[in-house]
Every structure is written in C-alpha cells, then in structure tokens.
C-alpha cells in the first residue's frame, strides 16, 4: 500500500503551505540577526498601530454624548 505522504515519483510531499514549509525556513536561514531583529520590531510596531486604532475607537464609543442642548438664559 502506498503511503499518502509519497507521490508517484517516490519523493515525499510536504503537508502545509509553501510559505510555512519552504519560504520561511529559507529566509530565516539566510537572514542575519540585524535583519531578523528589524522584521520582529516591524511586526511589533504594526500590532501597536492596530492597538492604537482599537483604543481610539473604544474611546470614541465610550464617550458620553451630551443629553439635551445648551440654551443661554437672558
């Protein structure tokens, strides 16, 4: 019985996506520490930006809207 992980040519097929199985390990192998640190920091900054957008939206939704109108009395 043929194993599911083997193709008809006898080579083993990898499960998962190309990026996870091939591209990412290759890039991590050729990147130096400075490059790795730069991309890690960029991911952190991106997430901080998303957090800032969410915080602003929460603040906008949490504001108390004024009830009624202000009428000057003479």
- Is residue 38 included in any domain, yes or no? yes
pLDDT of residue 3: 46
In a domain, 29, yes or no: yes
How do residues 42-64 score in pLDDT, each as one tens digit? 999 999 999 999 999 999 998 87
Q: Is 5 part of a structural domain of the chain?
A: no
> Does residue 55 sit within a domain?
yes
Residue 47 lies in a domain: yes
Total domain count, the chain: 1
pTM over 0.75: no
Residue 68 placed within a domain: no
Neighbouring C-alpha atoms within 13 Å toward the C-beta of 33: 0
Q: In three state form, how does the secondary structure of the chain look?
A: CCCCCECCCCCECCCCCHHHHHHHHHHHHHCCHHHHHHHHHHHHHHHHHHHHHHHHHHHHHHCCCCCCCCCCCC
Confirm whether 73 is domain-assigned: no
Instruction: Determine the structural domain holding residue 54 and report its residue range.
Output: 18-61
Q: Domain for residue 56, yes or no?
A: yes
Confidence (pLDDT) at 4: 46
């Amino acid at each position: 019985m043929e194993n599911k992980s083997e193709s008809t040519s006898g080579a083993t097929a990898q499960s998962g996506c190309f990026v996870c199985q091939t591209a990412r390990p290759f890039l991590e192998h050729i990147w130096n520490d400075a490059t790795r640190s730069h991309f890690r920091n960029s991911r952190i900054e991106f997430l901080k930006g998303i957090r800032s957008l969410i915080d602003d939206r929460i603040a906008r939704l949490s504001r108390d809207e004024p009830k009624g109108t202000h009428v000057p009395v003479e």
